[in-house]
Every structure is written in structure tokens, then in C-alpha cells.
Amino acid sequence: MSISLDTGVRFSLEIDGVATTAPAGATILDVCRAVGVDTPTLCYLETLTPVNVCRVCVVELEGARTLVPACSRVVEDGMKIRTDSERVRASRRMVLEFLASSVDVSLADDMQRQMKRYGAKPERFGAEARTVRQPVKVDNELYVRDYSKCILCYKCVEACGSDAQNTFAIATAGRGFDAHISTEFNVGLPDSACVYCGNCIGVCPTGALMFVSEHEMREAGTWDEARQTKTDTICGYCGVGCTLTVHAQDNEIVKVSSPADHDVTHGHLCIKGRFGWKFVGVKKRRSDG
Amino acid sequence: MFGAGGGTNSYQEVEDTDCIFLWGSNARETHPIFFHRVLKAVRRGAKLFVVDPRKTVTAQWADSWLAINVGADIALANAMANEIIRLGLEHREFIANATTGFEAYRACVQSYTPERAESITGIPAETIRAAARAFASSERAVICWTLGITEHHNATDNVLALINLALLTGHVGRYGSGLNPLRGQNNVQGGGDMGAIPDRLPGFQALSDDAARTKFDKAWGVTIPPERGWRLNEMFDAAERGELRTLYIVGENPAVSEADRHRAEAILKSLNHLVVQDITLTRTAEMAHVVLPASTGWCESEGTVTNSERRVQRVRKAVDPPGNARDDIDIVCDVARRLGHDLGSPTAQQLWDELRTLSPMHAGMSYARLEALDGLRWPCYDENHPGEQFLHARLWENPVRGPRAPFNVVEFEAPVDEITHEFPLLLTTGRRLDSFNSGVQTGQYTSPLRRGESLDLCPQDALRFGVRDGERVRVRSRRGSVEVPVRIDDTVRPGLAFMTFHFDVQTNMLTIEANDPKSGTAEFKATAVRIDKLEVGAATAGE
């Protein structure tokens, strides 16, 4: 979440040689987006506090020894920023290659696009680099955790924690190559503090966290986004009025998400909104009342 | 309140306020995404007070949990007022300018000292004093409530007691200060907005207002009777008297959800003609002479709903309804046609546009604007109006435009169902996070959190009644009994038991149809019960 400190003061700065202005409190990423500079991000999301772990958004700041993360560096008057220097390109490429060499990023669409853009060749590190490969964790009927696809962006931890849900069911455990997302004492989700809001799924950029419905359809080869429709509507349960994006394939709901820019939800839902739609697809609707 | 029934603040204001009272609300479980706002406020430094007989997951986030005895809310509110006035923290300028009836109110709350309230509410006097001081001295403060306030025989008085507190301190009509009922269902607010109240036309226009009625008469080409209709409980009473013989129920499951289920079922069975229009064959539908299968409102049809911040939002069709289920509008128009009235075949948008010509508070809400702006809050008088973020700003004008807001003298009354030696436990009811009402919808998905129905008891009461965790018992009230396993739960206090009504256990066999005379709501929150142990050998394994 960008920190809002709009005092009316505007700073002058230069991005790739083009002069622009930005309000005090804006980040370099905010400015890049405002002037249309495509900046890759992995761990950043508008609705979450920047954690600065992925370093893929780095830019070159004149006078600074190291590259700086665009997502969290706040603009100052007179900054001269380069977003496409060879140093920036090489750094971004390396970040993407390191991640893609060790992790299965086949479902990370935006990351794939950036890898193409920067000419990333993760295969040059060889098959031994796939250090996080492991079986999919299927321990409940609502969502699966496939940590072979986890790039440790921490978004799920943030959404489960103080940025949204405040449940703290997951955190990072281990250090260095052993770092991974884990429940307390690595117990299964049903024994953890998880309340199945699925807000971690909502922010996951790589498909490591996925509805069971989607996981099963992908395993069966029937998941086909080209045949899916997305319809925004309002949740049918309590009176908060959360926007649900209903993903349907062949007239069946296959999953539910919420738009991150919606004023009521900021992309977050509860267990009923995200998972409580099965009754719609029960062809011969019956009562249990 | 004060004319139009809706929460006075937007959700954003709850995030930005300084003091939040969640009164009879377990928002962490029942309004989870609203509670995200509360947590943002708490992390910013706002003070959170939770008034609840149970130490719910909501109460666990509070700066102060006011562990109130069920039904003692008026005693607490009046005692807070007593303390505020004693300290001179009331907003004298606002009271003088914008309200009426303060002197009578002051006289009434004089006897509600925090010490007296302690004996009624069970909340220590010092805790009441601290809550009162925090509420009155905060720059901004909101009170949000749910069914813990309204499912009582004196529901309206409970709400009036909260309104009094807001008037006393000037915590209404300003950004970040106000009164907010959190709606329990996705279109409870919209139902009220559209006139599904016995004495109102759409847009909260009074049925008794000749000019308003004439406007609708002209638009619809009929003469609307000026007499108010019946509330649900009045319909049931009329059916019992034999005055009401036909009932057409749309999207409600009263056979399960009504208090005193034995009586509700008997009444439904006694009707000459029962029509039920619903998305599944509910228990009520099973009793019907005619069932009209309907499409699911939020994903199989087009229209709008209104949320707890008065925001009207679009619902859209994402999938086709199954089999011969049809859109509610289609069904109603077809029924009308059979009854000799051609209403045509209007779309949801056409009906909405007609409403906009009749209800001034909705006039500016075109479908195009609702879609472009993610909904609009009422009132929204024309297409340039942004919709009001908060209500009743007029109360801060000097002189006040329109009528002043009245204080209402309200006195504490104990719940109707008396706790006695024979029925020594007070049963209160509520929802759990993963389930909803009678379970028609949530019963169809598998939740890892779900543990089925239980009678939640604290360890002391389990010991007192000689029951253990998981043991099936018979819970008996003056009206009926159910069999249910016991769950030892630290969130309830001695003398208090808790159940939901999400499952096969028919909790409302127990509850009392003691209705609030003004709103018709039954006292679901307070039932006197006792626990009968099942005979040895008759006990079956727990769920």
C-alpha cells in the first residue's frame, strides 16, 4: 500500500531523461506507472505493505551506490532515475532467472511476460537448480498449496497477517535456501489457525495457492480459461456487500475472486464469499433445512 | 433512524474513526470484510469496545470487552449516559440546537448509576465508566450493532438507547461519527429501501402520506390502500386467528428460521394455500401447495442490492439457472398475468428506472453510474449527485433544517423467558463464520472449520450439570426440546449457553416468539433452558 502523505507539495524529478513531477509521499513505482513506464513487480501489491523482498522492480538512482526498489522508495525532489539502463536490465534479468530456475513459474503469467522482455534464460542453471520441487499439499477440500510454485514473495503472509485478515496462520520459516512459507510447526491447514478466507489465494502471483476446484480441473486437463467468463456481482450472504468476480466455465462456477481495486473488499473475501457457492451448481437443488 | 432506515456512515469512516463500539455484534465472524476496516482502525490507534455476553473472536480484539448479561443493553447504555452527564461530557451545543426531549432523558438516566447497572449487566461499574468516558471524549466515534440488539422483545427500545448515546455526545451527522446497523443478509437494506416494510413505499416514503401515495397511484394505474400492511409476526398471528388463509413466501424459510418452531409449523400447515418461491426445496417449500423454483439472486439474475453503508450495487447473471428455475421478476409478472394484471415483461433495469422516477433518493442512480462507480450510496438525488457519504449532516446546521432528533426515554426490561430453578440456563443464538442462517446454501460446501451443531457450555456449567465434552444431551425450553452434543467452550460464561441454527438440530424448537411490539422481531437471543441427560445406553456417538 503506498503511503498517503499528500501535503499538496509536488517534487520535480526525471525518469529516463524525461522531466516530471510527483506528490510528496509517492513512490518511484507510483511515478513510473503514472508516466507509463512498465515496471515489473512480484512482491508488490497496491493493497499490501511493501516488503521489498523480490528486488525485481529496482531502478538506478543517480548518486545512490546500489539500485533502489521502486515499490517502496519514496520520491525526493531532484531525483534522476533510470529504469532501463544495462545495470537495471541485468539485475532484473538475474532476479527472474534465479527465481525461475528454482521454482515452477509456468502459471505466473506476468512473470513470463517480464522474462521474455528481459531475455531471461533460467535453464542455463540446469535442472539441479530446481531446489524447491515438492509434492502438492492437499490437506483440505477448499484450497491446495503447491510450494514448487512459490517464489517467496510474502504476499500470502501479508494478506493473512496485518494487511488484511489478521489471522497469522502462515509465516516464513527457515533461512537462505531453506526459507519457505509454513503454518505454525508445519501442521496441516486444518490444524492451523487458518480460517479459509482464501485471501492468500487472491494475492498469490504464481498459482502456488489454488482452489481445489481449479487444481482438480487442471490435473484432469479440463481447465480452460479461454472458455471461461468472469462476471462481477455481489455476494449473497451477509450485508457487507462484497464484490465477487464469478469465474464460470460451461455454465458452472469454477472459482470466485474479488477485484483488488474494489472499494468494499480491496480484493479480500471470507470463506463464505470465496467458497460458499457450491449450492448453485447442485443441479437438483435440495434442502438440508 | 430519523426518517430513513440505514446506517449513517460509510465503511471508510469506520476505518478513520477514533472509537468503535460493536454492540451485540460478532463482526469478526458475521461481517468479516467489514471487520477488516475495524482492524485497520484498531491498528491506527482507535479504541475498540465490544459489548457481547460471549467472549467472541471479535471481543478478543477489543481494548475492552463489556461482558454483558443477555438483554441488559438498555441498562448499560443508560448508565453510560449517566456517567457522561455526571462528568459534563455531553455535547450541550448539539443537544440544544439539534435535539428534543433531553430533560426527560436526563431524568430517566439519573437512576442508572454505573453501580446499579453493574448489578443488572454484570459489567463492573468502573468498566462502564471507562467506556462512557472514551465514547464521549473521542473526537469521532461510531456505534455498530447487529442482532444482539435487535433480536429482543424490546428491540426498538434497544436501538433507541444507542441513538440516545449518539445524540448526547454529538456522535452523529459527522464524518467518522454515527450509528450503523450491520445488515445480516445481502439485501436486507435493499428490501427496506424498496418499501418491503408494512407502512412504507419505496424510498422510505410513508404510506400514510397522501401526496406520495397519489404519485404511485398515477404511475401504477391503481389505488394503493392507505392502511399499513402486516409484518411477518402479524401475518402469523392473523393466520392463527384464521384471518389469513393464503401465504406467498419468496426466499424465506420460516419453518426453520422462526422462533417457536412448533407454532410456526402448525400455522404454515393450517393455511388453505401456501406458495413458496425459492432456489431450493426448503423445509418451508416442502410444506407448500405450490412451489415456484427461482433463480439465485446474486449469480443467476440481474438487478441491484443495497449494503450496510447504503451502497446500491449491481448483481449480475454469471450462470444460467438449472432446470425450470426462473427469474423472480418473470415469476411475479406471470403470476400477475394469471390474476388478470398485465405487467408486461420488464427487465431489471426497466424496473429500476421506473423506481428512479418515484423514489427521489434513488433518482441519480442510473445503471451506467452504478457500473462506472462501483455503486452509489443513497440518497443520490440526481445524476450529478455523488451520493451521501454520511447521513444527517443537517443536524449540525444552525438553525437545524427539518425536524430535530428526539431523545427517547427507554427503561431496562429483562428478557421475557424467565430463568428459574427448572430452566436455569440462558440460551443465546448466533452464527458461525463458515455458515449462514438455516444452512440452505452453506450446507452445500465442505468447510474444514465446521464442527456441526453443539450446545456450547463453559467448563463450570459442564461440571454443574454433570455433562462432558461431546456428550449428547436433551436441551429443553418451555416450548420444545432438541438433542445435541455438548461442547466445552471458554467463550461462554457461567449461566450462558450458545447454539446456532445452521444445522439439522432444530434450535428454534426452543426459542420464544416474544416479539418487539414496534418491529415484530422475536427474542431469539434469550431462551431459558435446562439440560436433561440422556439415559445411559441411549446416548449415541457425537457428531
The pLDDT tens digits of the residues spanning B109-165 come to 999 999 999 999 999 999 999 999 999 999 999 999 999 999 999 999 999 999 999
Residues A248-283: tens digit of each pLDDT: 999 999 999 999 999 999 999 999 999 999 999 875
Contacts with A194 from chain B: Cβ below 8 Å = 448
For the residues A119-127, what does the mean pLDDT come to? 94
Binding-face residues of B in 190-249 toward A, CB within 8 A: none
How large is the average pLDDT for residues A141-157? 97
Q: Given CA atoms B224, B225, B227, B228 in this order, what sign does their dihedral have?
A: negative
Beta carbons of A253 and B442 less than 8 Å apart:
no
Q: Mind giving me the DSSP string for A105-150?
A: -TT-HHHHHHHHHHT--GGGG-GGG-TT----B--SSSEEE-GGG-
B316 at interface of A, judged by CB pairs closer than 8 A: yes
Q: Residue A281's closest chain B neighbor by CA?
A: B322
Q: Does A250 reach chain B within 8 Å, measured CB to CB?
A: no
Answer yes or no: is pLDDT of A3 > 50: no
Instruction: Name the minimum distance, in Å, from the CA of B60 to any CA of chain A.
Output: 12
B208 pLDDT above the threshold of 50 = yes
Band of residue B540 on the pLDDT scale cut at 50, 70, 90: very low
pLDDT at A149 over 70: yes
- In this complex, the residue of B325, B443, B447 whose CB is nearest that of residue A271 is B447
ipTM score assigned to the predicted complex: 0.94
The full set of domains in chain B, from first to last, is 11-181 (3.40.228.10), 188-377 (3.40.50.740), 425-533 (2.40.40.20)
| Dihedral angle over CA of A26, A32, A38, A42, nearest 10 | -30
CB contact under 8 A, B307 and A253: no
Q: For residue B449, what is the nearest residue in chain A, using CA coordinates?
A: A195
Residue of A nearest to B295 (CA): A280
Task: Report the pLDDT value the prediction gives residue B503, as an integer from 0 to 100.
Answer: 84
- Say yes or no to pLDDT of B541 above 60: no
Contacts A162 to B, Cβ<8 Å:
43
- A147 Cβ neighbours under 8 A, 6+ residues apart: A132, A134, A137, A180, A181, A208
B310–chain A Cβ distance below 8 A for any pair: no
| Range 438-457 of B in CB contact (< 8 A) with A | 438-449
Same fold, A1-127 and A143-281: no
Task: Please spell the DSSP secondary structure of B203-227, one letter per residue.
Answer: GGEETT-HHHHHHHHHHHTS---SS
Nearest to B308 among A241, A248, A273 (CB): A241
Q: Is the pLDDT of residue B4 over 90?
A: no
Contact across the interface for B441 and A164, Cβ inside 8 Å: no
Strands (DSSP E) along B175-310, which ranges? 178-181, 200-201, 205-206, 246-250, 273-278, 290-293, 303-306
Q: How confident is the model at residue B518 (pLDDT cuts 50, 70, 90)?
A: confident
Identify the DSSP state of A191. Answer: G
CA distances to A25, A99, A108, A149 from A120, rounded to whole Å, are 33, 10, 14, 18
Are A236 and B186 in contact (CB < 8 Å)? yes
CATH number of A143-281: 2.20.25.90
pLDDT at B508 over 50: yes
- Looking at beta carbons, which residues of chain B come within 8 Å of A193? none
What is the three-class DSSP state of B79? helix
B interface test, pick of A165, A196, A203, A233 with most B CB neighbours within 10 Å: A233
Q: Which of A246-260, B101-115, B251-265, B333-347 has the lowest mean pLDDT?
A: B251-265
Residue A2: what pLDDT? 41
Given an 8 Å threshold on Cβ–Cβ distance, is B183 in contact with A276? no
pLDDT higher than threshold 60 for residue A284: no
Q: Let me know: does B306 contact B189? Beta carbons within 8 Å.
A: yes
Closest in A233, A244, A270 to B32, CB measured:
A270
Question: What is the CA angle B62-B66-B68, rounded to 5?
Answer: 145
Q: Does the N-terminal peptide bond of residue B53 adopt cis geometry, omega within 30 degrees of 0?
A: no
User: Would you tell me which residues 118-177 of chain A have a C-beta closer than 8 angstroms to some C-beta of chain B?
Assistant: 140-142, 162, 164-166
Q: Which pLDDT band holds residue B2 (cuts at 50, 70, 90)?
A: low
How much is the mean pLDDT over chain B? 94
Q: Are the CB atoms for A214 and A254 separated by under 8 Å?
A: yes
Phi, then psi, of B306 in degrees rounded to 5: -120, 135
- Residues of chain B numbered 117-176 and touching chain A (CB < 8 Å): none
Q: Which residues of A88-103 are buried (b: 16+ CB within 10 A; e: fewer)?
A: beebbbebbbbbbbbb
End-to-end CA distance of chain B: 44
pLDDT in tens, B456-507: 999 999 999 999 999 999 999 999 999 999 999 999 999 999 999 888 888 9
Q: What is the dihedral of CA B428, B434, B439, B444, to 10 degrees?
A: -160
Q: Which residues of chain B have a CB within 8 Å of the CB of A238?
A: 30-31, 182-186, 436
- Residue matched to cell numbers 491498528: B43
| Residue contact B436–A276, C-beta within 8 A | yes
Identify from B36, B295, B437, B501 which residue to disrupt to test chain A contact, counting A C-beta atoms within 10 A and taking the largest count.
B36
Query: Which of chain A's residues have a Cβ under 8 Å away from the Cβ of B509?
Result: none
Hey, are the CB atoms on A233 and B316 less than 8 Å from each other?
A: yes
The tens digit of pLDDT for each residue in B159-206 reads 999 999 999 999 999 999 999 999 999 999 999 999 999 999 999 999
Q: Which amino acid is at B122?
A: G
Q: Amino acid identity of A159? A: A
Q: Contact at 8 Å (CB) between B25 and B182?
A: yes
User: B395-429, pLDDT tens digit by residue?
Assistant: 999 999 999 999 999 999 999 999 999 999 999 99
The Cα of B11 is separated from the nearest Cα of chain A by a number of Å equal to 8
H/E stretch holding B120 reads helix B114-121
Question: The cell 421506473 sits on which residue?
Answer: B354
Residue A82 to chain B, least CA–CA distance (Å)? 36
Domains of chain A by residue range: 1-127, 143-281
Q: State residue B539's pLDDT score.
A: 45
- d(CA B92, CA B69) in angstroms, rounded, equals 32
Dihedral Cα A235, A237, A242, A243, nearest 10 deg: 0
Q: Cβ distance A150 to A144 under 8 Å?
A: no
Which stretches within A20-85 are classed as H helix? Answer: 28-34
Mean pLDDT across the stretch B23-46? 97
Closest chain B residue to A139, measured at CA: B448
Nearest chain B residue (CA) to A268: B33
In this prediction, what percent of chain B has a pLDDT beyond 90? 90
Level-2 CATH architecture, domain A1-127: Roll (3.10)
What is the Cα Rg of chain A in Å? 21
